[in-house]
């Protein structure tokens, strides 16, 4: 055959391929640097006289074990940074990373760019559990109090997931079926939530609603271990599965022909995603948009190869949530879920618009 | 003159004097302000060293301490003789008590209050207490009633501009809210500690807001050695103790006004008890307490205990259905306008609302209408209380506990306690010189709303 | 190798798509499946590589029942080139084609896989497109990439669902010729669904003609592609001539779809006209 252009040599191809990989690593580095910056910003105490430079200084001193004179401004700033700001920032990083990678997995698995971790009704299940605890004081386990809300939310989140898994053994599940089932389950739980919220008093109503909206307030070192462990293990598994996810995104028929047992794999992903999302959401409430937007932002820059999109979306998700948290922090009392939605929706809007101008499809 | 005539005239004069005196004294029984400090102050000052559990620390306490040291009295009968809470009574305690009796500056004083779980505990701070930060209306107002506003270094929230105007002008607004201390507000609090010479004197917390003192924040307080004094003072009698104790801690004129406040309050309480305390349950007036317009106070609510102090019989003692429905210590929203329809035999409905003062006549009218006819999301309050208008009253929750109790007594036992009498109680507290009521009159405070007032205003 | 299809039936709900299909396909060979739309060609293929499960009957590959083979095992043996590609998450051409290596992939195989990919791209003449985004290609280039993906699987059996429908005539011929050559060189059993009867006729070793969910005829192109078969199955009037040993179809007319027209009258008219033509031809020959 005659070629229209000068073809690549074998080595040329390999070179270009490795270049593309290098680009992806650069993006990852940028995200990580951004994270470090925002951790510093978040720790910015707004104590007068403690600026960004001093903040990093305080963190450094703490790591070295140096102490400040008791009850002085820097002493308080040090306490604040380590007891409040740091766990808060870490929670943002963990939650952002976990939600982003769940979003990546969900979108590949459903072959749907608009899927996010909440598409299967997990969020409304979790809300229902939490609100049962908050409004009615009913606990699904023997745990009460603050942790009671968390365990309730976790159990509530797993209900839709397990229901879908159970149904999947019996009927043929396409991605469309999954999402529709998830929507139906959402409707059900939402109606129960509305009922509970409507019949309660203003205070409880506000607590319940605040929980739903999603916030990182009150994150302490105690809440972190579970979130961290689940995220680390879960994302490691996802990254191992990332080439299979690539195959899934080719469509069901192609995936089967390439050796992926689509139905079983989808169930595995579903359970994995449910556990990760539930673990995060039980502590933070429903923070939306990260699972939806972070993977897209990453794909814009480096394409759709999940072997890279998965880990880098974690960094991007963490950065995104940190940024949103910082903005929420400036306007104190606004929960981070609200800020996330406010910046998430126009960003998403723009992504779609910008891409449709470039090419026919979304990318 | 004849001896007979002189005798008769003398007798008549004597009788006349006696009658006049009797009339004067007798009049005082139903509205006069001749309460001359007769009643015992039944509050126990919550300070270790108050060995005899009365309302102050004085030489009587020293006598008891010496007896305990000598072995003549037992420490288990007089636990507060152990001034420094170390388990025994020795020279150190004696020295401490002497300093307390002398009201010496810089003394370490051991305060009895609650811990984060609501259990009794002892917290130490420095006398006299300065640079305090209150959190919660139920502790903020008692602080101000003890004239402690001058010693407030910062506050989380101030919702009542006039009533809380005695908060020092130099106090810092820390930016919290009624329901929440945000991270930012706590940071402001800690910055205040850093910027205050010698650090903050104490954090005064109302127990109902204790959830905002997380483990992290409690650890902050401990590390910075800021004492946290927690009280639950919504109930009238608890409030008296709190004002008394805070007054003592602030020292000087605060201690004086604390004692006066307690004295006056107990006078009123005893007066009410004498008149109606001995009534059998059948003769007592039953009451249902409400709050936030249409929320019914549950059986163990502090509003109920105040109303019982006012001589009322809680309705849950009369009606088992009511008792079963409204268990708890908070309040429940009325499910519908029919919520009260099965309880038509209740004697009085005592509704509590916090209303700032410093109003003019027009302001009072507006407030009356807004309260009585409040819009609860499209349904007027009057719908909920239909058929109970003659028994419904609104009482201003910002008033001193004893004043609220007085108005409650008037609402339930109007024959024994007239409106003038109750107003007189309020006037007494104004005259006493408590800071929140400073500059107010009966016309600038909306203390009490009943159906008559509402009709008057809407006529 | 051999594919044995044994009494396979398939229906989606109550409407049967495949009715009692029994067939042996021996390889290596280049086999073409022909038939009009909706006759079950894709469904048959999907039953072979487990994309669909037959409602009854079995498929045996080299004597082993497909039901007992895992999907991953099957993917090492059977390659598949679909009719259309999913555009939601496009990759570069290289990455797309690399997917085909998935059933064989090991941890360290990146460079080796790249070699295989490159060679295949070169063979199809699209190596210059290697680093381009998949969704920026034309439809014809799409199909070549899909084909490449199937080929890098290095399968024993390759199933293709209309792989050339969007290519221009040059590339249609070239690709089909290449497939035939591959089946011989590499010993692959290639089964291709095609709409172009002539190109299939030109290159296929065997033709499977399907009609109404059943196998209508099987055999060499000359045996299967006949005027009668075409009339019955496709509903067209044609003339089949011989070209270099292979049948070539010249289309004449379509049987009317319009249900108001009496088909047997039309058939009679058509037969009459053909008789007239033949007699005029033979007259010309004679004279």
Assigned domain for A265 exists: yes
Question: Do both B229 and B365 map to the same domain?
Answer: no
Assigned domain for A79 exists: no
Domains: count for chain A: 1
By C-alpha distance, the chain A residue nearest C122 is A7
Question: Do both B318 and B242 map to the same domain?
Answer: no
Instruction: Check residue C286 and give its pLDDT.
Output: 55
User: What is the per-residue pLDDT across B337-386, written as a single tens digit (0 to 9) for each?
Assistant: 888 988 999 999 999 999 999 999 999 999 999 999 998 888 899 999 99
Rounded Cα distance between C187 and C29, Å, is 8
Instruction: Report residue C80's pLDDT band, with 50, 70 and 90 as the boundaries.
Output: very high
H helices present in B73-166, as ranges: 91-101, 137-145
- DSSP letters for B350-397: EEEE-------HHHHHHHHHHHHT-EETTEEHHHHTTT-GGGEEEEET
User: What is the per-residue pLDDT across A195-229, written as a single tens digit (0 to 9) for each?
Assistant: 988 888 777 888 888 888 888 876 778 888 989 99
Stretch C150-170: mean pLDDT: 88
CATH code, B409:
3.40.50
Phi/psi at B133 (5° precision): -125, 115
Instruction: Check residue A360 and give its pLDDT.
Output: 38
Closest partner residue to A7 (CB to CB) among C70, C80, C128 is: C128
User: What is the per-residue pLDDT across C108-129, written as a single tens digit (0 to 9) for each?
Assistant: 667 788 888 888 888 888 888 8
Assigned domain for B397 exists: yes
Residue C140 pLDDT exceeds 90: no
Residue A361 pLDDT exceeds 80: no
By C-alpha distance, the chain C residue nearest A241 is C102
Stretch A258-265: mean pLDDT: 89
User: What is the per-residue pLDDT across B100-140, written as a single tens digit (0 to 9) for each?
Assistant: 999 999 999 999 999 999 899 999 999 999 999 999 989 99
Residue A16 pLDDT exceeds 90: no
Instruction: Check residue B18 and give its pLDDT.
Output: 64
Question: Do both B148 and B284 map to the same domain?
Answer: no
Instruction: Check residue B443 and give its pLDDT.
Output: 92
Instruction: Check residue C107 and give its pLDDT.
Output: 65
Instruction: Check residue B407 and give its pLDDT.
Output: 96
Closest partner residue to A5 (CB to CB) among C46, C85, C128 is: C128
CB contact under 8 Å between C128 and A4, yes or no, is: yes
Q: Write down the mean pLDDT value for chain B.
A: 89
Instruction: Check residue A303 and give its pLDDT.
Output: 81
Residue B192 pLDDT exceeds 90: yes
Highest mean pLDDT among B261-265, B329-333, C263-267: B261-265
Domains: count for chain B: 3
Instruction: Check residue A356 and give its pLDDT.
Output: 61
Assigned domain for A16 exists: no
CB contact under 8 Å between A73 and B191, yes or no, is: yes
Assigned domain for B338 exists: yes
Assigned domain for B399 exists: yes
Question: Do both B195 and B336 map to the same domain?
Answer: no
Sequence-ordered list of residues with C-beta below 8 angstroms from that of B15, at least 6 positions apart, any chain:
none
A235 touches chain B (CB under 8 A): no
Residue B422 pLDDT exceeds 70: yes
For chain A, give the percent of residues with pLDDT over 70. Answer: 90
CB contact under 8 Å between B175 and A332, yes or no, is: yes
CATH code, A167:
1.10.3470.10
* Chain B hits for A76, Cβ within 8 Å: 190-191, 193-194, 224
Instruction: Report residue A84's pLDDT band, with 50, 70 and 90 as the boundaries.
Output: confident
Instruction: Check residue C172 and give its pLDDT.
Output: 87
Residues across chain C: 287
Residue A46 pLDDT exceeds 70: no
User: What is the per-residue pLDDT across B159-168, written as a single tens digit (0 to 9) for each?
Assistant: 999 999 999 9
Phi-psi bin for B387: left (phi > 0), alpha (psi -120 to 50), beta?
left
Assigned domain for A127 exists: yes
Instruction: Report residue B392's pLDDT band, with 50, 70 and 90 as the boundaries.
Output: very high
Q: What is the nearest CA distance from A112 to chain C, expressed in angstroms? A: 7
A48 touches chain B (CB under 8 A): yes
Question: Do both B199 and B311 map to the same domain?
Answer: no
Instruction: Check residue B204 and give its pLDDT.
Output: 96
Residue B32 pLDDT exceeds 50: no
Label residues B254-268 b or e (16+ Cβ within 10 Å = b).
bbebbbbbbbbbbbb
The range of the structural domain enclosing residue A299 comes to 86-358
Instruction: Check residue B115 and give its pLDDT.
Output: 92
Interface list for A 185-214 with B (CB within 8 A): 199-203, 206
User: What is the per-residue pLDDT across A265-319, written as a single tens digit (0 to 9) for each?
Assistant: 988 998 999 999 999 998 888 898 899 889 988 888 888 888 889 999 999 999 9
Give the CB-side neighbour count of residue A131, counting CA atoms within 13 A. 28
By C-alpha distance, the chain B residue nearest A50 is B191
Assigned domain for A73 exists: no
Give the dihedral sign, CA B297/B302/B303/B307: positive
Out of A161-170, A188-197, B31-40, pick the least confident.
Answer: B31-40
The range of the structural domain enclosing residue B313 comes to 279-458
CA angle at B60 for the pair B55 and B62, rounded to the nearest 5°: 115
* Chain C hits for A8, Cβ within 8 Å: 118, 127-128, 130-131
C174-180 own/partner pairs: CB under 8 Å, 24+ apart: C174/A1, C175/C124, C175/C144, C175/C147, C176/C200, C176/C202, C176/C203, C177/C203, C178/C123, C178/C124, C179/C30, C179/C203, C180/C30, C180/C204, C180/C205
Question: Do both B310 and B404 map to the same domain?
Answer: yes
Instruction: Check residue C284 and give its pLDDT.
Output: 63
Residue C287 pLDDT exceeds 50: no
Instruction: Check residue A3 and give its pLDDT.
Output: 36
* Chain A hits for C95, Cβ within 8 Å: 246, 303, 305
Q: Using the 8-state DSSP alphabet, how is residue B45 labeled?
A: P
Instruction: Check residue B22 and give its pLDDT.
Output: 57
Residue A358 pLDDT exceeds 80: no
pLDDT higher for A137 or B43?
B43
Q: What is the nearest CA distance from B280 to chain A, expressed in angstroms? A: 36
Assigned domain for B285 exists: yes
Q: Is B27 helix (H, G, I), strand (E, B) or coil?
A: helix
Instruction: Check residue C1 and give its pLDDT.
Output: 84
Q: Which domains does chain C have, with CATH numbers?
A: 2-233 (3.40.50.300)
pLDDT higher for B386 or C105?
B386
Instruction: Report residue B211's pLDDT band, with 50, 70 and 90 as the boundaries.
Output: confident
Assigned domain for A336 exists: yes
pLDDT higher for A296 or C277?
A296
User: What is the per-residue pLDDT across C236-252, written as a single tens digit (0 to 9) for each?
Assistant: 888 999 988 899 999 98
User: What is the per-residue pLDDT across B296-330, written as a single tens digit (0 to 9) for each?
Assistant: 999 999 899 999 999 999 999 999 999 998 998 88
Residue A5 pLDDT exceeds 50: no
Instruction: Check residue B31 and give its pLDDT.
Output: 43
Assigned domain for A183 exists: yes
Instruction: Check residue B265 and give its pLDDT.
Output: 95
User: Which pair of tokens denotes residue A18?
Assistant: 């490795």
Instruction: Check residue A2 and give its pLDDT.
Output: 39
Assigned domain for B87 exists: no
Question: Do both B243 and B366 map to the same domain?
Answer: no
Stretch B50-79: mean pLDDT: 91
Instruction: Check residue A142 and give its pLDDT.
Output: 62
CATH code, B223:
3.40.50.1980
């Amino acid at each position: 055959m005659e070629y229209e252009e000068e073809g690549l040599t074998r080595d040329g191809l390999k070179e270009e391929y490795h270049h593309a990989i290098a680009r992806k690593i650069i993006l990852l580095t940028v995200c990580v640097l951004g994270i470090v910056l925002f951790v510093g910003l978040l720790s910015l105490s707004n104590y007068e006289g403690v600026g960004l430079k001093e903040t990093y200084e305080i963190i450094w001193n703490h790591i070295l074990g140096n102490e400040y004179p008791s009850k002085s401004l820097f002493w308080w700033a040090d306490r604040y940074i380590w007891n409040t700001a740091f766990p808060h920032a870490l929670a943002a990083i963990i939650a952002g990373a976990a939600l982003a990678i769940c979003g990546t997995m969900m979108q590949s698995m459903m072959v749907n760019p608009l899927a996010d971790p909440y598409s299967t009704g997990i969020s409304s299940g979790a809300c229902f559990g939490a609100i049962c605890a908050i409004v009615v004081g009913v606990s699904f386990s023997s745990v009460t109090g603050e942790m009671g809300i968390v365990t309730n939310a976790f159990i509530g989140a797993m209900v839709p997931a397990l229901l879908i898994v159970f149904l999947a053994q019996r009927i043929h599940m396409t991605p469309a079926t999954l999402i529709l089932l998830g929507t139906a389950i959402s409707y059900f739980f939402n109606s129960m939530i509305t009922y509970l919220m409507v019949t309660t008093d203003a205070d409880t109503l506000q607590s319940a609603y605040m929980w739903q909206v999603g916030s990182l307030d009150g994150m302490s070192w105690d809440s972190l271990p579970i979130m961290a462990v689940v995220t680390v293990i879960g994302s490691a598994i996802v990254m191992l599965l990332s080439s299979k996810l690539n195959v899934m995104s080719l469509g069901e028929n192609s995936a089967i022909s390439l050796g992926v047992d689509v139905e079983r794999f989808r169930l595995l992903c579903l359970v994995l995603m449910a556990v990760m999302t539930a673990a995060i959401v039980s502590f933070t409430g429903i923070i939306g948009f990260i699972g939806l937007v972070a993977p897209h932002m990453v794909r814009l820059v480096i394409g759709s190869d999940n072997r890279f999109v998965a880990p880098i979306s974690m960094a991007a998700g963490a950065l995104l949530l940190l940024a949103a948290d910082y903005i929420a922090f400036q306007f104190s009392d606004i929960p981070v879920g609200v800020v996330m939605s406010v910046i998430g929706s126009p960003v998403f809007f723009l992504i779609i618009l910008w891409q449709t101008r470039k090419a026919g499809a979304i990318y | 003159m004849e001896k007979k005539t002189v005798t008769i005239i003398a007798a008549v004069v004597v009788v006349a004097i006696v009658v006049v005196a009797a009339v004067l004294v007798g009049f005082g029984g139903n509205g006069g302000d001749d309460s001359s400090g007769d009643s015992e102050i039944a509050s126990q000052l919550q300070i270790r060293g108050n060995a005899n559990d009365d309302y102050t620390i004085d030489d009587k306490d020293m006598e008891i301490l010496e007896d305990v040291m000598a072995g003549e009295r037992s420490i288990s009968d007089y636990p507060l003789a152990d001034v420094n809470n170390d388990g025994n009574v020795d020279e150190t305690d004696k020295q401490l008590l002497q300093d307390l009796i002398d009201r010496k500056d810089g003394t370490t004083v051991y305060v009895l209050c609650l811990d984060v779980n609501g259990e009794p505990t002892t917290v130490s701070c420095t006398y006299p207490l300065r640079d305090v930060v209150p959190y919660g209306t139920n502790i903020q107002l008692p602080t101000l009633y003890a004239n402690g506003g001058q010693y407030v270094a910062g506050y989380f929230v101030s919702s009542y501009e006039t009533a809380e105007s005695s908060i020092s002008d130099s106090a810092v607004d820390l930016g919290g809210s009624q329901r929440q201390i945000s991270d930012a507000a706590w940071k402001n609090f800690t910055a205040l500690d850093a910027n205050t010479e010698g650090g903050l004197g104490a954090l005064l917390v109302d127990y109902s807001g204790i959830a905002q003192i997380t483990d992290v924040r409690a650890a902050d307080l401990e590390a910075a050695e800021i004492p946290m004094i927690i009280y639950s003072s919504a109930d009238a009698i608890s409030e008296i103790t709190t004002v008394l104790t805070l007054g003592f801690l602030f020292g000087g004129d605060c201690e004086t006004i604390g004692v006066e406040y307690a004295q006056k309050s107990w006078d009123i309480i005893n007066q009410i008890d004498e008149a109606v305390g001995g009534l059998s349950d059948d003769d007592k007036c039953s009451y249902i307490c409400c709050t936030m317009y249409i929320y019914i106070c549950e059986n163990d609510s502090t509003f109920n205990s105040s109303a019982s102090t006012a001589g009322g019989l809680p309705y849950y003692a009369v009606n088992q259905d009511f008792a079963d429905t409204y268990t708890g210590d908070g309040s429940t929203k009325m499910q519908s306008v029919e919520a009260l329809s099965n309880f038509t035999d209740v004697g009085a409905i005592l509704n509590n609302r916090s209303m700032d003062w410093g109003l003019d006549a027009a302001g009072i009218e507006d407030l009356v209408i807004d309260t009585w006819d409040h819009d609860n999301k499209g349904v007027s309050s009057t719908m909920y209380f239909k058929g109970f208008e003659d028994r419904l009253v609104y009482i201003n929750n910002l008033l001193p506990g004893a004043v609220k109790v007085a108005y409650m007594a008037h609402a339930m036992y109007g024959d024994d306690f007239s409106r003038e009498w109750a107003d007189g109680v309020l006037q007494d507290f104004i005259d006493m010189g408590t800071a929140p009521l400073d500059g107010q009159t009966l016309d600038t405070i909306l203390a009490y709303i009943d159906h008559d007032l509402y009709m008057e205003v809407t006529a | 190798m051999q594919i044995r299809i044994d009494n396979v039936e398939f229906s989606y709900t109550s409407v049967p798509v495949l009715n009692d299909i029994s067939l042996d396909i021996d390889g290596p060979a280049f086999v073409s499946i022909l038939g009009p739309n909706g006759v079950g060609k894709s469904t048959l293929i999907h039953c072979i590589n487990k994309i669909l499960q037959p409602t009854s009957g079995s498929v045996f590959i080299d004597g082993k029942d497909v039901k007992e083979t895992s999907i991953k095992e099957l993917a090492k043996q059977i390659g598949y080139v679909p009719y259309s590609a999913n555009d939601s998450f496009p990759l570069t051409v290289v990455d797309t084609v690399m997917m085909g290596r998935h059933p064989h992939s090991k941890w360290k195989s990146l460079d080796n896989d790249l070699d295989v990919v490159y060679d295949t791209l070169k063979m199809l003449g699209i190596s210059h497109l290697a680093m381009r985004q998949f969704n920026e290609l034309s439809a014809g280039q799409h199909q070549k990439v899909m084909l490449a993906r199937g080929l890098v699987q290095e399968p024993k059996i390759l199933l293709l669902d209309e792989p050339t429908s969007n290519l221009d005539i040059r590339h249609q011929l070239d690709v089909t010729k290449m497939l035939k050559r591959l089946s011989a060189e590499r010993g692959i059993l290639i089964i291709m669904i095609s709409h172009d009867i002539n190109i299939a006729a030109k290159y296929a070793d065997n033709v499977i003609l399907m009609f109404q969910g059943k196998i209508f005829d099987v055999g060499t192109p000359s045996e299967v592609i006949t005027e009668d078969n075409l009339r019955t199955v496709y509903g067209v009037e044609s003339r089949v001539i011989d070209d270099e040993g292979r049948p070539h179809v010249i289309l004449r007319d379509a049987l009317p779809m319009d249900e108001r027209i009496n088909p047997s009258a039309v058939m009679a008219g058509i037969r009459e006209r053909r008789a007239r033509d033949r007699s005029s031809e033979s007259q010309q020959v004679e004279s």
